[in-house]
Amino acid sequence: MVRCGDGLAVDADVARAAEDATAQALAPLRGRTPDLVLAFVCAPETEDVSAALERVSAVSGSAATLGCSAGGVIGAGQGVELVSAVSVWAAVLPGTRLRTFHLEVLRSSESIAVVGMPPQHADDRVAILLPDPYSFPIDAFVEQSDQALPGLTLSGGLATGLRGAGSTRLLVDGKVHDRGAVGVVLGGSVPARALVSQGARPVGPAMTVTAADANLVLELAGVPAVRKLEQVVASLPPADQALVTEGLQLGIAMDEYADEHGLGDFLVRAVVGVDPDRAALVIGDVVEVGRTVRFQVRDADAADADLTTVLRTFRESGALDPVEGALLFTCNGRGADLFATADHDVAAVSRDLAAPGVAGFFAAGEIGPVGGRNRLHGLTASILAFGGVPQ
């Protein structure tokens, strides 16, 4: 049967923390060698991060190990941000075939190519992906993945180092890299399911996009988009108006034929600016004419409600029974900045999935499926749950 364990250790000596966290993660496996181990390290010095990642790989005994640097780590029921710490997740996955990989980018004057992805097998189900956003074209890779890798679900998060570009470190099977992306493809009998909580709340009416140009929304319901936004904001209560000023989002309906669109029914994308010359809204994605959209805001209450709904709906579906563990890739804009505690998301996942082994990290972007397609997100919680598959 599937069995998962997690561990977390806070220590300025992250190599020592790596040994401690690994021991914690292995304990629930009851002496069985893990099939897959993931490690996440937060530390200011890249050399220390590398040493800690290598230590987890050596101590765990797992043939398949992944890991990365991060601004915060999650394990043992808690989140730790911007403090030297290591979290480790270990799993026994009977019947699952694991193929690890390191993706690199080849550039020419006219194009770029990504190399290193294993040839796809018919029974490949999900891949865990940990990219360095400074050196890897993750937006384009995720956007093209449904066509290039049909049927393969992607789940993961964007790694970062505490010193910005050049300080990211990635681990695969004991070797540390400073660029590209690392991951593992899970095939065969894969007891895993991917979930995404976008954590946004719709405000104002649903509207049809009546004019657009790539990622510019020109008209909403026949009105110039900026003017329509002003009308909608004017109709909102003061509390929601304040949230709009903190970061407006646009939700794109995933099901155009639904009678109503509410919480969780949209692919949420940031409104990144305005084009004053065209009275247009600049969106962090392409929006087509005819799509149903609705403005969205984010706050702690909305994010909590959405995460709870996603987790409980999944648990009640019985898709995995029981849930034995989960990997959690949550945005570095959540945690204490949003919820006043870094423990919020891991506590919710552990509670609502009744999952004993949960670990992950605070990511600079999250990868997970929404509306049947792989997506790159921000300010979300992406979860890959593992457990028993009902017969």
Whether the per-residue pLDDT at 254 is higher than 90: the answer is no
Q: How far is CA 59 from CA 25, 50, 53, 71, 102, in A?
A: 11, 14, 10, 23, 21
Is 122's pLDDT higher than 80? yes
Per-residue confidence at 258, pLDDT binned at 50, 70, 90? low
Q: How many CB atoms lie within 10 A of CB 362?
A: 28
Question: Is the confidence at residue 256, as pLDDT, over 90?
Answer: no
pLDDT at 265: 77
Residue 391 has pLDDT above 60, yes or no: no
Average pLDDT over residues 97-117: 93
Is the per-residue pLDDT at 390 higher than 70? Answer: no
What kind and span of H or E run contains 246?
helix 238-246
* Burial tier of 116 (Cβ tally within 10 Å: 0-12, 13-18, 19+): middle
* Better-predicted residue by pLDDT, 171 or 201: 171
Q: Give the pLDDT of residue 111.
A: 83
How far apart, in whole angstroms, are the C-alpha atoms of residue 219 and residue 64?
A: 50
Of the pLDDT bands very low, low, confident and very high (cuts 50, 70, 90), residue 252 is very high
Q: What is the pLDDT of residue 260?
A: 62
What distance, in Å, lies between the first and last C-alpha atoms of the chain? 13
Contact 232, 250 (CB under 8 A): no
Angle at 90 between CA 87 and CA 91, to 5 degrees: 155
Checking if the pLDDT of 175 tops 90, the result is: yes
User: Which span out of 232-236, 244-248, 298-302 was modeled with the highest average pLDDT?
Assistant: 232-236
The predicted-structure confidence for 29-73, as pLDDT tens digits, reads as follows: 999 999 999 999 999 999 999 999 999 999 999 999 999 999 999
Top-confidence residue, 247 or 361:
361
Give the pLDDT confidence score for residue 225 in this predicted structure: 98
- pLDDT for position 261: 57
Residue-wise pLDDT for 238-247, tens only, equals 999 999 998 8
Identify the pLDDT of residue 315. 96
State pLDDT tens for residues 143-156.
999 999 999 999 99
User: Looking at residue 110, what is its pLDDT?
Assistant: 80
- pLDDT for 108: 80
* Alpha carbons 370 and 197: distance in angstroms, whole number: 9
Answer whether the bond into residue 119 is a cis peptide, omega within 30°: no
Task: Decide if pLDDT at 7 tops 70.
Answer: yes
Percent of the chain with pLDDT over 70: 97
- Reported as type and span, the H/E element at residue 51 is helix 46-60
Burial zone of 113 (CB within 10 Å; 0-12 exposed, 13-18 middle, 19+ buried): exposed
Checking if the pLDDT of 259 tops 70, the result is no
Does residue 219 surpass a pLDDT of 90? Answer: yes
pLDDT band at 257 (very low <50, low <70, confident <90, very high): low
Mean per-residue pLDDT, 7-17: 98
pLDDT given for residue 126 in this prediction: 98
For 183-219, the DSSP string reads EEEEEES--EEEEEE---EE-S--EEEEEEETTEEEE
pLDDT recorded at residue 306: 93
pLDDT of residue 262: 58
Q: Share the mean pLDDT of the chain.
A: 95
Residue type, 363: A
